[in-house]
């Protein structure tokens, strides 16, 4: 296959370049950054200084280029205080990727030299990575709240950075905050016993006390994993042992702790398959409901939406997924966003392996694969089956990579790995993954490097039928990676539980508004079976088979409109809106105003928009201040007629 495009240009190490950074990271690479942040949460401001340690990788340089977006840059200076001239320009004016900060150095620097410099800047409410929440948006209604979300290319609005997963650096931080605005602060780093020197002490104020906290991350990470959360927060252990912890607002802590009591067992289940957890402790933060994703795998500080707390444990697969990122994504990272499946596909694969060890219900794993396949198929239809974004190697040249994000890298990536496992053999594949982690620990790679590793490993291990396996892998590799649309080979995830669920769905359709026999079987379904049932209802709605009287009977029997599980509720609303039901608009609007997670809210907005565009716009206008900036933009794209949407 002959591929043309900037995305496939290789840099000196043989890896693909990242087309979504404006930094000159091939010539100079940051090794460590120290942040000094003074938080003013109520005013939605952070006064900041960042100190950098750059290593010259090219033959010579006379400038350093960094990614920024909507930051206020005040000064750039060397560690001896010498001021450096800087220029801000816009390489892609209309791409929504921000700006380039060009720092003109005081002389020419050659390969191997170290450059120490600092940047004074500030962050305000324009930042796409920082959410400043007022008191009313929190659960305890006692203090404002702050959290960050940097994936995929949003950390450039948190600090001037080489905002690319190709570059990994260690970091440390000194955080200064008011005791009236936060009881505590946490970062994707360990709390440091060392008190770093403060360069800019704030003025004393009799109305509050300044508090100080220090952090250090000794493992090199990409910029998108830098994270901070501040507010009325409490931290507790989740179970016996000293590895797993929970952070949330205090009023919810006991409820969440009970639901997450098996976190240590989740971690052990993953270790049973893939090997030891190397990051020390594992902490999950349950954030306010406007968090834009189901969860985010920040090392030592996973962020999660409260939608995963269902009181039934059905949302805990999200916690297992984020734990699995500690191996795939955080330890080994995609070199650019065109290789995102190297993060997400591997993580879904490990999540489902660990779930099979923990839950010991093979049918449940197959059903989750079926659900994932349905979500991927919906995304493929939304993009168009010929869209490059439906491949495992999307080209994001000149655009915000967020536009390419979907379930494709997750589920198509998972299916590709399952296909490879079928060729290599289950046991050999497991040990190959362990060797893969040891070989590329704390590095970033691309799909070609992965392919080379797999072939090399099989040869060195003298696996049975090496030549045949090598041929089968290479024969299908490019079609899996580069071909748009559905996976090139259909995998079999069939199970009797799927047939049982499909028959249950059909029983409601055939009953035509009456209560079918055994309707209460639903209450004994696996969580995944319930999702499959609702996806089957959605298919019936698409085929004009889901009638209003059937909707009414299902809701009367199963109480889905008042369901507490958001994963089930959004699928129910998506199905009935597709079927043309208008009788639950008020409850649907209330639902959309209570959940900020795009995976849940966006499909409902899409179905609502297709049924009643005016009401969809009205609903968005009512709730738009609740949503994170990332979700707000996604919903605006769904609503199409942006002229009717308040900017």
The residues annotated with a catalytic role in the active site are 322, 410
- Are the CB atoms for 403 and 479 separated by under 8 Å? no
C-alpha 316: how far from chain center: 16
Angle 548-558/496-511 helices, nearest 10 degrees?
Answer: 120
Which of 597, 586, 588 lies closest to 626 in space, CA to CA? 597
Q: Is 344 annotated as a binding residue?
A: yes
C-alpha 46: how far from chain center: 24
Give the position of tokens 């997670």: 597
- Are the CB atoms for 249 and 233 separated by under 8 Å? yes
If you write DSSP's letter for every residue of 345-378 in order, what string do you get? HHHHHHHHHHHHHHH--HHHHHHHHHHHHHHHHH
Name the helix (H) or strand (E) containing 263: helix 263-274
The residue length of the chain stands at 647
Torsion of CA 276, 277, 278, 284, to 10 degrees: 180
3-state secondary structure of 390: helix
3-state secondary structure of 546: coil
Q: Which residue(s) pair with 185 in the sheet?
A: 230
Residue 439 to residue 609: CA distance in whole angstroms: 48
3-state secondary structure of 481: helix
95-131 in b/e form (b: 16+ CB < 10 A) is: eebbbbbbbebeeebeeeeebebbbbbbbbeebbbbb
Work out the burial of residue 346: count CB atoms within 10 Å of its CB; fewer than 13 is exposed, 13-18 middle, 19 or more buried: buried
Count of alpha carbons within 13 angstroms of residue 17, beta-carbon side? 18
Q: Is 191 annotated as a binding residue?
A: no
Q: What is the DSSP letter of 645?
A: S
Residue 68 to residue 158: CA distance in whole angstroms: 8
- Are the CB atoms for 598 and 634 separated by under 8 Å? yes
Q: Is 325 annotated as a binding residue?
A: yes
Residue 232 to residue 389: CA distance in whole angstroms: 40
- Are the CB atoms for 101 and 66 separated by under 8 Å? yes
Q: Is 44 left (phi over 0), alpha (psi -120 to 50) or beta?
A: left
∠ Cα 140 141 143 (to 5°): 100
Compute the chain's Rg from CA coordinates: 25
Q: Which residue(s) pair with 173 in the sheet?
A: 35, 215
Residue 443 to residue 120: CA distance in whole angstroms: 30
Q: Which residue(s) pair with 118 in the sheet?
A: 51, 77
Known binding residues are 321, 325, 344
Known binding residues for Zn(2+) are 321, 325, 344
């Amino acid at each position: 296959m002959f591929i043309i495009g900037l995305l496939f240009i290789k840099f000196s190490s043989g890896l693909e370049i990242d087309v979504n950074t404006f930094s000159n990271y091939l010539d100079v690479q940051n090794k460590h950054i120290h942040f000094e942040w003074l938080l003013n949460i109520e005013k939605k401001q952070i006064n900041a200084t960042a100190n950098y340690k750059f290593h010259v990788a090219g033959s010579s340089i006379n400038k350093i280029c960094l990614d920024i977006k909507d930051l206020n840059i005040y000064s750039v200076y060397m560690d001896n205080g010498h001021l450096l001239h800087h220029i801000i320009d816009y390489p892609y004016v209309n791409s929504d990727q921000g700006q380039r900060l060009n720092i003109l150095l005081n002389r020419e620097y050659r390969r191997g030299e170290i450059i120490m410099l600092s940047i004074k800047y500030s962050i305000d409410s324009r930042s796409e990575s920082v959410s400043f929440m007022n008191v009313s948006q929190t659960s305890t209604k006692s203090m404002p709240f702050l959290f960050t979300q940097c994936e995929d290319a949003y950390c450039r609005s948190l600090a001037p950075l080489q905002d690319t997963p190709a570059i990994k650096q260690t970091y440390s931080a000194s955080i200064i905050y008011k005791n009236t605005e936060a009881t505590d602060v946490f970062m994707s780093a360990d709390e440091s016993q060392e008190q770093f020197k403060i360069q800019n002490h704030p003025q004393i104020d009799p109305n509050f006390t300044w508090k100080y906290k220090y952090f250090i991350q000794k493992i090199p990470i990409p910029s998108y994993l830098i994270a901070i959360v501040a507010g009325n927060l409490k931290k507790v252990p989740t179970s016996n042992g000293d590895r797993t912890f929970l952070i949330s607002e205090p009023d919810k802590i006991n409820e969440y702790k009970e639901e997450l009591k098996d976190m240590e067992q989740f971690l052990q289940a993953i270790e049973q398959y893939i090997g030891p957890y190397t990051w020390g402790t594992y902490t999950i933060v349950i954030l306010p409901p406007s968090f834009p994703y189901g969860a985010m795998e920040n090392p030592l500080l996973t962020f999660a939406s409260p939608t995963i707390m269902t009181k039934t444990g059905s949302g805990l697969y999200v916690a297992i997924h984020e734990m699995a990122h500690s191996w795939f994504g955080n330890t080994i990272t995609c070199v650019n966003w065109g290789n995102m499946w190297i993060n997400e596909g591997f993580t879904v694969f490990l999540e489902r392996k660990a779930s099979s060890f923990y839950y010991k219900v093979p049918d449940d794993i197959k059903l989750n694969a079926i659900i994932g396949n349905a979500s991927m198929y919906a995304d493929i239809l939304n993009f168009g089956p010929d869209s490059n974004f439906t491949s495992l190697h999307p080209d994001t040249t000149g655009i915000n990579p967020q536009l390419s994000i979907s379930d494709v890298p997750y589920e198509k990536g998972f299916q590709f790995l399952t296909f490879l496992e079928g060729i290599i053999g289950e046991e050999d594949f497991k040990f190959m993954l362990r060797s893969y982690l040891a070989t590329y620990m704390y590095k970033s790679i691309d799909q070609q490097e992965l392919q080379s590793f797999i072939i090399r490993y099989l040869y060195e291990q003298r696996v049975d039928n090496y030549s045949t396996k090598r041929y089968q892998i290479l024969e299908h590799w490019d079609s899996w990676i580069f071909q748009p649309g559905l996976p090139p080979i259909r995998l079999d995830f069939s199970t009797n539980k799927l047939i049982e669920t499909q028959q249950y769905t059909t029983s409601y359709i055939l009953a035509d508004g009456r209560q079918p026999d055994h309707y209460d079987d639903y209450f004994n379904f696996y969580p995944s079976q319930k999702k499959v049932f609702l996806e089957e209802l959605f298919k019936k709605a698409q085929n004009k088979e889901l009638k209003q009287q059937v909707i009414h009977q299902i809701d009367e029997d199963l109480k889905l409109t008042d369901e507490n599980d958001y994963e089930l509720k959004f699928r129910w609303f998506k199905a009935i809106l597709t079927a043309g039901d208008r009788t639950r608009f008020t409850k649907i609007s209330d639902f959309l105003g209570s959940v900020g997670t795009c995976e849940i809210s966006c499909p409902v907005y899409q179905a609502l928009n297709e049924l009643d565009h005016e009401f969809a716009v009205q609903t968005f206008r009512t709730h738009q201040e609740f949503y994170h900036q990332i979700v707000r933009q996604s919903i605006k794209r769904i609503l199409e007629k942006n002229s009717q949407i308040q900017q």
